[in-house]
Amino acid sequence: QAQLVQSGGGLVQAGGSLRLSCVASGRTSSTYAMGWFRQAPGKEREFVAAISWRGRNTDYADSVKGRFTISRDNAKNTVYLQLNSLKPEDTAVYYCAGSAVNWGTPKRGSQYDTWGQGTQVTVSS
């Protein structure tokens, strides 16, 4: 089983930017495709972005398309989520996740095997 350790996040004003990082260690065969999800208070967890194993394919939720960018550096076993033009509705706990799927960009939480500890992103208006 891989372990995912997240960093980044915090409090930012609307229109600001943040970068989240997620470092994988251990059994990295369960971190081929990587994704980011978020969960706001009182809401279900939702898909944010995913990136394929070699980084050639990415996918985004409509609500973040054009504002967020997912990327990865496999040499560092790290995946990033750049959050730009943040809105108050982006406030949530963000989770990175690793999948044993070695193709495509999974969008369902059930397709992921390993999860990070979560990091809070708060956007003030």
pLDDT, tens only, 21-61: 999 998 776 679 999 999 999 999 999 999 999 999 999 99
Query: How does pLDDT run across 64-121, given as a tens digit for each residue?
Result: 999 999 999 999 999 999 999 999 999 999 999 999 888 889 999 999 999 999 999 9
Q: Which of 106, 123, 100 lies closest to 48 in space, CA to CA? A: 106
* CA-to-CA dists, residue 62 to 7, 14, 48, 67, angstroms: 24, 19, 9, 10
Q: Which residues are CB-contacts of 110 (< 8 A; sequence separation ≥ 6)?
A: none
Alpha-carbon Rg of the chain, whole angstroms?
13
